[in-house]
Amino acid sequence: MLQQEAKSVIPYGRQNISDADVQAVVDVLRSDFLTQGPAIPRFEKELADYCGARYAVAVSNATAGLHIACLAAGLGPGDRLWTSPNTFVASSNCALYCGAQVDFVDIDPVTYLMSVEALARKLEDTPADELPKIVVPVHFAGQSCDMVAIAELSREYGFMVMEDAAHSVGGSYKGSKIGSCQYSDMTVFSFHPVKVITTGEGGMVMTNDEELYQKLIRLRSHGITRDAEFLAEKDGGPFYYEQLELGYNYRMTDIQAALGSSQMGRLDEFVARRHELVRLYDNLLAGLPVSLPFQHPDSYSAHHLYVIRLRPDEIKRTRRQVFDAMRAAGILVNVHYIPVHTQPYYRNLGFDWGQFPEAEQYYREAITLPLYFDLHDYEQDRVVDALKAAISENA
C-alpha cells in the first residue's frame, strides 16, 4: 500500500507574485538604476493617486516610515505619543526612537481598534502639560478606526494624528481610501510579504502637508537635500548638497518599487478576493463557540487578517491547546498581538498587566486564521475542520 502523502501546511499569510511582477523586477535589474531611480517616484505617484493624497514617500519599511513621520512632526524628548496596545511594537517604538514617552489607549472589545470612548476619557483626565503630541490609531486587520471622532478630539486637544495603516492598503473609510489623510496628518503603509501588496520589505508615508512632505523626503535620506529652495548656499553647483537634519538611510530601492507598482495593478482584486474568503469563513464558522470579526458599516476593510476569539466559557480547551492542535494539523495559525505594554521592555518602563484590560482579554482569546489571495475554498474547509477538531473536548 502506498503511504498517504502528507498534507501541505497552510500559512496564515503569504504573497502572490505573478509573471508580470517578476518581469517588472527583471526590467529594473537590467536598467541603469537599481536604487534612487525612476521606479520610486512612479510607485509613489501611483499610490498617492489611488488613495487621493497629495504626497507619498516610499521608505525601506513601515517601521522606518513611522519613525520619520514622528520626526517630521517634531516629536522629541518631553513629548508623548499614544497608541493602541493591540499592535506590533513598531507603533510605539517609533516614539522611543525620538526620545519621547509612550502611553496606550485601550481597545474597543467589538472592533479591537482604539476605543474612542477610552481615548476621550484619557484625554479629559490628563493634565494639559502631559497631553500627547501625536496619537497613532492602528487600523487593525485592515479596518479603519473611527477617524472622524479621533479627528474631532485632535482639534479639541491639539494633537497630531498619524494613522498606522500597515494592515490597510486598499481599504476605505466613509467612502475615501485609507491613506487619503482626510482625517489625519500622515498615514503609514506596510508592504511586508504577508500584507495585501508587497515590495518584499517596504513602506509608504502619505500626507497632504507640503512641509511634512519635504521633511519626510530629507529624513529618509540622511537629512540631505539638493533642492535649491532649501539650500543656504544657492550657487554651490550641480554636485552640491546640504544636510539640514539628522536623517537616516531609509530609502526604498527601485527593485522594490517596481514590484510595488506591478502589485498595485491588482490591489483591488487582492482586496476583493479577501472579502470573498471572509464571507466564506463567516458562513463556515457560524454556530461554533467563537466570535467572528466585526465589520463596521463605515469601513471597507482591506482584510489583512481574519481573527477569531474563542469563547472560553463554551470551550473546555485553552487557547494554547487549540493553537497547538491546529499547528500540529498543518494550519499555521498565529496570534495578533501580544499587548505591547506587557512586553518585558515596556514593563521595565513601568507598564504591566492589568492596565488595559480589553486588549489583554482579547489577547487571551484571539487566534488568526489563514487569509491570503491564493487560499483555496477547500483549504478553508480544512482550516475550519481543524478548528472544530481543536476545540472539541476529545481533541
pLDDT reported for residue 394: 65
**Cell numbers found for residue 60:** 525601506
Q: Supply φ then ψ for residue 275, to 5 degrees.
A: -65, -40
pLDDT of 185 = 98
What is the signed CA dihedral for 70, 73, 76, 82, rounded to 10 degrees?
A: -60
The pLDDT of residue 234? 84
β partners of residue 104: 83
Helix locations, the chain, DSSP H: 19-29, 39-51, 62-72, 90-97, 116-125, 147-157, 210-219, 254-264, 267-285, 319-328, 344-347, 357-365, 377-391
Q: Which pLDDT score, from 0 to 100, does residue 5 have?
A: 43
Q: What is the mean pLDDT of each run of 10 residues along the chain (395 residues)?
A: 60 97 98 97 98 98 98 98 98 98 98 98 98 98 98 98 98 98 98 98 98 98 94 88 96 98 98 98 97 96 98 95 98 98 98 98 98 97 98 75
Catalytic residues: 195
CB distance 326 to 338 below 8 Å: no
C-alpha–C-alpha distance, residues 51 and 186, integer Å:
12
CA atoms 255, 256, 261, 266: torsion sign: positive
Looking only at the bridges linking them, the beta strands covering 242-243 and 290-291 are unpaired
Quote the CA–CA distance of 138 and 341 in Å, as a whole number.
15
Q: What is the pLDDT of residue 1?
A: 32
Grid cell for residue 62: 513601515
Which amino acid, residue 172? S
Q: Whole-angstrom Cα distance, residue 11 to residue 332?
A: 5
- Nearest of 274, 265, 271, 309 to residue 290 by alpha carbon: 309
Q: Cα torsion for 12, 341, 170, 41, to the nearest 10°?
A: -110
Is the CB of residue 135 less than 8 Å from the CB of residue 83? yes
The residues, ordered by sequence, that sit 6+ positions from 85 with a Cβ below 8 Å of its Cβ are 104, 105, 106, 107, 339, 340, 341, 342, 356, 359
pLDDT at 19 (0 to 100): 98
In DSSP terms, 83 is beta-bridged to 104, 136
Peptide bond between residue 241 and the one before it cis (omega within 30 degrees of 0): no
Q: Name the nearest CA neighbour of 87 among 116, 111, 113.
A: 113
Which pairs with CB-CB distance under 8 Å and at least 24 residues apart come from 287-291? Answer: 288/387, 288/388, 288/391, 289/314, 289/315, 289/391, 290/387, 290/391, 291/365
